[in-house]
A and B are shown apart, each in its own frame.
Chain A
Amino acid sequence: MQLQFERVTKSFGDLKVIDTFDTTIRDGEIVALVGPSGCGKSTLLHMVAGLQSATGGQVKADGRSVERPAPERTLVFQEHALYPWMTLRQNVALALEFQGRPAGEAHKQAVQWLARVKLDGFEDYYPHQVSGGMRQRCALARAFIARPKVLLLDEPFGALDALTRLTLQSVLKDLIEEERPTVVLVTHDVDEALYLADRVLVFSHRPARVLEEFTLGHIPKTHDLSAFAGIRREVLSLLGIDTQAQETERQTEKGDVQ
């Protein structure tokens, strides 16, 4: 599914959050939105999901204006989006049950999807009984089970420790390769963007506009991102982090950027 942002602006009262965003995301493309905290990246994602509307301009999915949420455009939240009163299996099955599929079939598929994210054996655990990484695996299964055409990820691994984050990035990458949805990823983590995305858009502080666009292309990648050291340096420098000297000093100043 192709996504088009046509002169999209967003304000909350007098506060201008997004300053004219224009881009087209091709079917099956993986795009990462990187930028400082509170710059409106998540707002863009919520617009594609149909949870928020643009103040000006419009967001289109396959040429049709997005007006409300639909299961074909699904969103993975940062955390706490699983329902604590449901087991992992019930959480994943719910995505199908909401689409009117019979409970039996939904639960059968949920078990299969939990196995695909390596959560077999944990089907009947409640979210608070498993680790944060396992919860996000489950959230991925819940997103993918509906076979979305657009997958929106809102800092999906932001709350995880560094090592778990790398593992989950690989899990996500494999799922994307197998299912081939169009992906929009919002992240603070430049390495995560470089590892997962075909194209990286770097945003400015509020009101957000695109500072620079980096096209990496859809190529096989590992967590060894040394081939992209140049791009990485440029992105970090756009985010105000000097990679040459006095790195620690600058970093504490702009502590909101990783």
Chain B
Amino acid sequence: MSKQINVALIGNPNTGKTSVFNALTGLNQKVGNYPGITVEKKEGVCKLPRGVKAHIIDLPGTYSLNASSLDESVVIELLLNKNDKDYPDVAVVITDVENLKRNLLIYTQIKDLEIPTILVINMSDRMAYKGISLDIEKLEKQLDTKIALISTRKGKGIDNLKDLISNYKTLSIEPCLNTQDIDTAYFEGLKKAFPNQSLYKLWLVITQDVNFGKIDRNSIKDASDFKTKSNVDLKRLQQKETIKRYQYINNALKEGQTIDLNSAKDLRIKMDRILTHKVWGYLIFFLILLTIFQAIYDWAEVPMDFIDSTFASLSEWTKNVLPSGAFTSLLAEGVIPGLGGIVIFIPQIAFLFLFIAVLEESGYMSRVVFLMDRIMRRFGLSGKSVVPLISGTACAIPAIMATRNIESWKERLITILVTPFTTCSARLPVYLIIISLVIPEGRFLGLSYQALTLMLLYLIGFGAAVGSAWILNKILNIKSKTFFVVEMPNYKLPLFKNVALTVIEKTKSFIFGAGKIILAISIVLWFLASYGPGEQFNNAEEIITEQYASENLSQDELNQKIASHKLEYSFIGITGRAIEPAIRPLGYDWKIGIAIVSSFAAREVFVGTLATIYSVGSDEEATIKNRMAKEINPVLGTPLFNLASGISLLLFYAFAMQCMSTLAIVKRETNSWKWPILQLTIMTAIAYIVALIAYQFLK
């Protein structure tokens, strides 16, 4: 087997780095996490000419090697640790032809680490449009590297890039900047103290707090103690360094790049004027949100009905084909309904991720940040909190991680604390099934009542987030400097391949991540519902037959009575009835109680749990929804899921903190148990009180 080359993709955000990664690896990629931290690690394999294989790693987007966030420090940690198994044989720096000057800054830094570096100039299809012309030969000479001019949109230049990667050994590793030029006296001293080290690496270690891999660090670990200068002085030197780097870049571009501004056309200004307008801007944003919710509700209905009935018949088929016994009943009544409860939400979750991916890819999300900053600041948030709050509608976990680029700690902490109020996709299954049970059909201005209810629930979630942010802003006594820098990338038509891969990847991880928990819980629940202690459970048949002996019931009706009697005295029934007093004022019975308790592991378990509980002991083929519609409130004798109990449940799920993974992420990101515990207590208390008021008021 030939040797595998390690390739690292590096570049600023918004340069199409991920497109290049997708073009190189296609579906041969996997997304994981860096050990111990929640930064996404994307890697893949690419076949190069002459049978060489490349292991490609897509590093988080970063503006420079001076890390200011966890994501960015991943990049520098890898590049400073030669013993890391992912340490690149060759670095590929991706730049956008429209922002070449700024994108080259990190190129000069990577090159100074003495790693063979290839320069990729992406989006070459936009050059003529922007009046840019490049002299690649001159640029290669000036920047002392090989350049691949590519267009991932048009699929051009990728083969050339692969060729360059496979010939990486011929690349120059001369630094761009002589580190000593930044401050001769200071670096002379440094050189004397650490004669065998690269000055630039030492400088990086001194100027930032990075946890290095054990081995390489040993030799330079004393460097960070080499503080002959104050922090202010160091920062001044960094500024000087940055100026010097730009001088180098400007010189190179003067030779190799010409921009004819007269032939440059720009839609950006016109679009910005509309999209960030004080009236149109907000209106368009609102309309986009409305479209998303209508899509999730209406368009996803067809595939969902199909999945629902497929699982119902699958369960029925299993029962008929397999010999009856404990295993068959576990499969037909535990596993299949449990899985059905999660698979059914694939269409909606995919839609949601699709919209978020399109908004991010098109560059529109930055306009929303710009538009909302002033308003959000009033609530102690940042314009950048909008991104977590919107992606929180998919899942709070990546949303909380997305707060990392909020510069002010106070704004970031508040965002982390309130994000779980936004309606995540795990709440969606619960909302959808209850809405379809209790909200009547019908339309208002072309929008269905059901879609409007869903929209309202999203608004409630968002309102709760913003409202509690306002309160937190008043009571949290944290002083922190607020910085706010956001790049406004040019508008782009989202690439189908990128969007599709994101949707597949995110949906897959949601399904498998949640699926595992749901499957495990379904099996446990099936056991608890199928077995029970004592006379009442074991002799259910005799007790019921005796009790209804005089009533002349058909065999079917009798079986139904026996099954529900058994369920009531099973382990799960006993537990459920123990907590019933606490939830009866909210309009729930003990079955819903069990579903609520089990959904403290994860909300989406709710539907699967009800599916499992209701299917234990029932014979006929029925969808989850039909079974729920048939449930009768034991006290009132009316349908269990009516408007009052339905609204109460919806509100409970809107406010309650029912996600262990989110609590774990909050613990990690705030580095304290205080915040997640506070979150859990307060959110659940609010949920209980609101649900109580709603039920008592509506019943």
A associates with B: no
Residues of B near any A CB (own CB < 8 A): none
